[in-house]
Amino acid sequence: IGCRQLDAFIAGGEGSAADRVTSADIFRVLKTEALVDIVDWLRSWNRTAKAPVRIIGVDCQATAADTAFALDWLASVDAVAAEGFARRLEPLVNPDARAKRYVTLVTSLTTQQLRQGMKDLEDLQKTLAADGPYAAAPGRSAAAQFARMAWQGLSILEYDVSDSRIEDVTNEYYGRRDAYMAENINHFADGKPGAYWAHNLHVAGAPVSYGADVVNPAGHHLRQALGDRYRTILFEYASARFNAVPIRDPAKTPPATDPAIVIDWPYREGRLAGLFRSLGGGDAWVDLQALPSTPALRAWSTRLQAMRDAGYAASEKVDEVPTSMIKPRPAIDILVHIEALTPSRMRL
C-alpha cells in the first residue's frame, strides 16, 4: 500500500516528496531524507521520460491492508460478493486487526484461524482470477495480486502462531518470504527491466547459510529464473553507525513503534570486509566477475564468508546478531565496500 502511495506521487500526484514519504504506509526506519531525494528525482524523471518508472511493493508483510485492498476493489464491482468475503475474512480486516502491527496480528491467531484465513483468501483469489466473473473489470489484476500477497503474509508465519511448534519447521519455511518476493517481482515485472531494492541477504544471488541452516534468498530464485539477466549489488562496510529499532532482548522482536536510535557497530574480524581491511581499507566498488582468475582469488570468492547485517531492528551489541554466511561468487556481482557507514537522516 505504501509503495502504491509513492508510485501515485511519482506519476504526478499532488504534494511534495517530503510529505508523501512522511505519510506513506511504510516502515518508519525507511522514512529518511535519502528516500525523499529518490522519490523527488523519480517524479522529475517521469515528467519527461519516454518510459516512466514505477515504485512497486513486492514484500508480503501487510496481510490486513492487502486483504482490505482486495475487498474494497471487489466492493466497487460487486457489493454483495464483497460483503460475503468480508464476513469470512473479518478476523483479518476488523478495526482491531488493521490497527495491529502485521507480525502481532498474524502470530496472535490460532492455527485453525490462520488456515481458515488462508482458505478464504484462496477462494478470494479464485473469484478475482483472470478467468473469473470480473475478468474485464479495470483493476482486477491488482486486486487479485493483493489477495495473493495477503495469503503469502499468513503463509510465512504459519508456524509462528499462538499454538504452533516452531521447532518442527524446515528451511523451506524460513525461505518462504523470499520465494514469495521473487514470485511477486516476476509477476509485476512481466518481462520488463527493473531494480529490486532490499536487504543484502534478500538480494544475494546464491543460498545464505545460518549455521547448519541454508535459506534461498529472493535473489537466488531470481538468478534461477533470469540467469545472467539478474545482477546483484551488495554493500559491505568496515564500521557502521545506523538508524534501527533497538532489540533490548535479542530473544524478542521489538514493536515497530519503538523510536529509532543510532546504533554503533565497529569492525569485526571474519567478515567479508576482512579482505579490504587487509588491503588497508577505504571505499571500493569491485566487479567480482572481472577479478583475475588466480588460485587465491578463486579460493576467496568461493569460500563461505560472514556478513553481519541488521534489518529494521538491531541489537546494540553486534556479537548478539546471528551471522549469515555467503559465498561471494555467485552471490555477488558488484561489491560496494564503505569504510565508515553513516546513519541516514530520519524524517518522522
What is the pLDDT, as a whole number, of residue 328?
94
CA 106/CA 95 separation, integer angstroms:
15
Q: Which amino acid, residue 180? A: Y
Look up residue 69 and give its three cell numbers. 485492498
Burial of 219 (0-12, 13-18, 19+ CB in 10 A): buried
DSSP class per residue in 115-171: HHHHHHHHHHHHHTSTTSTTTTSTTHHHHHHHHHHHHHHHHTTTTSSTT--GGG--H
Q: Residue 341 pairs with which residues in a beta bridge? A: 240
CB 307 within 8 A of CB 236: yes
234 close to 196: Cβ distance less than 8 angstroms? no
Whole-angstrom distance between the N-terminal and C-terminal Cα of the chain? 18
Q: Give the pLDDT of residue 271.
A: 83
Query: For every one of its 348 residues, what pLDDT tens digit does the chain have, with 9 covering 90 and above?
Result: 899 999 999 999 999 999 999 999 998 888 999 999 999 999 999 999 999 999 999 999 999 999 999 999 999 999 999 999 999 999 999 999 999 989 999 999 999 999 999 999 999 999 999 999 999 999 999 999 999 999 999 999 999 999 987 777 888 999 999 999 999 999 999 889 999 999 999 999 999 998 888 999 999 999 999 999 999 999 999 889 988 888 877 777 777 666 678 888 887 667 888 888 888 889 999 999 998 889 988 898 999 988 877 778 888 887 777 788 999 999 999 999 999 999 989 886
DSSP helix/strand/coil, 242: strand
The CA distance from 251 to 274, in Å, is 28
Q: C-alpha 1: how far from its chain's center?
A: 13
CA quadruple 296, 300, 302, 306: dihedral, nearest 10: 170
